[in-house]
A and B are shown apart, each in its own frame.
Chain A
Amino acid sequence: MALIHLSSPHVSKANSTADVMRLVLIATLPGILAMTVFFGWGTLVQIALASVLALGFEAAILKLRKRPLGFFLKDGSALVTAVLLAVAIPPFSSWWVTATGIFFAIVIAKQLYGGLGNNPFNPAMVAYALLLVSFPVEMTRWTSPITQNGEGWQVAGLLETLQVIFGSVEATWYDSFTGATPLDVLKHRAGQTTEEIWRQSDVLINGVAAWYAVSAAWFMGGIFLLSRKIFTWHAPLSMLIALFLMASMFYGFDPDNYVSPVVHLGVGATMLGAFFIVTDPVSSATSNRGKVIYGAAIGVLIYIIRTWGNYPDAVAFSVLLLNLCAPFIDQYTQPRTYGHKRANRGMKGKS
């Protein structure tokens, strides 16, 4: 009888980090499905490519760091990063765009900081921001949703998609499949009022419904995760409410120049960001109050950057900026511990 000495507790809930990651992956399925339906094979190809690359980079760097491969690859965090980056970039981006992004996400933003749990920034968003800054043209060439292409389901076939992504097709050909996103159109409107642009732009008349549908799919995934208690409601809800309030306020004052709050919530990466990016626990604030502040600040920042900034969408930048603030928020939003009159604020006795 070999008895052992261990610290309590001696039982633990049957869950693991890998389970959490698996649930997140499952929750992305509706969104991926919607994107595939409306934008074609590109999304799936990008996800496959990104996943393979992510696992490859992760394995290589673990090898370099002399870590057990199986143990760390199994946690599934690399796959989550890969999927999130793949759905964030345009479905027809060239393979090297994806490769650069994944390299940056896995190697630089995650492993060089010490691997899972130690990265101060959301790896997918770091990579996305890098790509957006480095390859602005590539990153704005979004596929037009099928709803915009007239009659029938006219999406690029799998073979064509592969050709586009792996670079053997002339740019002119695939220009016919690409177009501006609603946020692009609303941003670059050359003095027209919001209403005028809504009446004129094909992207907005026919295309926006597809965006709404994709957002709804992400939302469904998010609700699923919320019901499984993978994250709490604080950060996503506060982000959505903050964005909605900002948009309503300005839209209410001046509907000619500002975009309706519904559009803000429905297009772009708002829903993806709210439920899959903002809720990334590693780089976000910790306490419930902290999460509320964190989410709300992201919501406000998204609106500010979208409306007055240079980039059409702003989820990545807002999240990165708030990642920076997370430790600070944590410091000042500690919960009130049982038996204490007030919560601690920062460090006592240190000036």
Chain B
Amino acid sequence: MSTILTAIIVLFVLAVLFGALLGFASVRFRVEGNPIVDQIDAILPQTQCGQCGYPGCRPYAEAIANGDAINKCPPGGQSTIEALADLLDVEAVPLDAEHGEEKPKSVAFIREDECIGCTKCIQACPVDAILGAAKQMHTVIASECTGCDLCVEPCPVDCIDMIPIETTPNTWKWPEPPSPMQLIATDRGRGVAASESVS
């Protein structure tokens, strides 16, 4: 009986000791991280397009921090979802089609001879990328445009187009080399094609 008692006492004392140690360590060596909302906001593409159902990226970041789904951002696409999943340590899910689909990056373009100068698009632009004044022709500053689409809807004469950004030699990316045939299990379909190309 006394052995058992000794064991229990010893274990209890040890538990208390280690608990105290851990507690101390967690206070003493606390790592001050960015608030999670800032980190999420940094990942979001900042188009401020509202396709997620929130009025801008930051509100959506706040919503995610409060547990909203991470797959409501079409401009960010799958890569943003993966980055968020990585940050929040949750599973990466496909984009929610309800909020739109991932489109190639584009900028707004105003067909200037059709513009009546109503300023409605200027008011809609979340990043002040449209230049113009009442009764003056408007134009988009392409380098500032985030491609959010928000100016297209309010235009009374439908003179705004979303033009996909073209690849120039300066923005061209080297493609990933073809995958060598050695991955595990995940590439069943590719094995056949690979064997054909080799033999």
- The segment from B44-52, B85-93, B186-194 that touches chain A is B186-194
Chain B proximity mask over A323-351: 1 for CB below 8 Å, otherwise 0: 00000000000000000000000000001
**Contacts known (A7-B174, A114-B183); A67 close to B31, Cβ less than 8 A:** no
The residues in A between 87 and 119 inclusive whose CB is less than 8 angstroms from any CB of B are 114-118
Give the size category of A's interface with B. 10 to 19
Q: What residue of chain B has the Cβ atom nearest to residue A116's Cβ?
A: B182
Q: How far is the CA of A96 from the CA of B182 in the complex (A)?
A: 30
Q: Does A70 contact B (CB under 8 A)?
A: yes
Q: Across the interface, which residues of B come within 8 angstroms of A116, CB to CB? A: 182
Take A7-B174, A351-B31 as given contacts and tell me if A68 and B182 are in contact as well, using a CB distance cutoff of 8 Å.
no
Given contacts A7-B174, A71-B198, contact A66 B191 (CB under 8 A): yes
Size category of the binding interface on chain B = 10 to 19
- Check if A68 sits within 8 Å of B194, measured CB to CB: yes
Choose among B31, B174, B181 the residue that contacts A68 (Cβ–Cβ < 8 A). B181
The A contact surface, by secondary structure, is: loop
Max count, chain A CB within 10 A of own CB: residue among B174, B184, B188, B199: B184
With A114-B184, A115-B182, A118-B182 as given contacts, are A70 and B174 in contact (CB-CB < 8 Å)? no
Residue-by-residue, is A250-290 near B (CB-CB < 8 Å gives 1, otherwise 0)? Answer: 00000000000000000000000000000000000000000
With contacts A71-B198, A114-B182, A115-B182 taken as known, whether A66 is within 8 angstroms of B188 at the C-beta atoms is: yes
Complex Cα–Cα for A117 and B174 (A): 25
Does A65 belong to the interface (CB within 8 Å)?
yes
Instruction: Give CA–CA (A32, B198) in the complex, Å.
Output: 35
A65 and B191 within 8 A (CB): yes
A-B contact pairs, 24 of them (CB 8 A): A7-B177, A65-B184, A65-B191, A66-B191, A66-B192, A66-B195, A67-B181, A67-B182, A67-B191, A67-B194, A67-B195, A68-B181, A68-B194, A68-B195, A68-B198, A70-B198, A70-B199, A71-B181, A71-B195, A71-B199, A114-B182, A114-B183, A115-B182, A351-B31
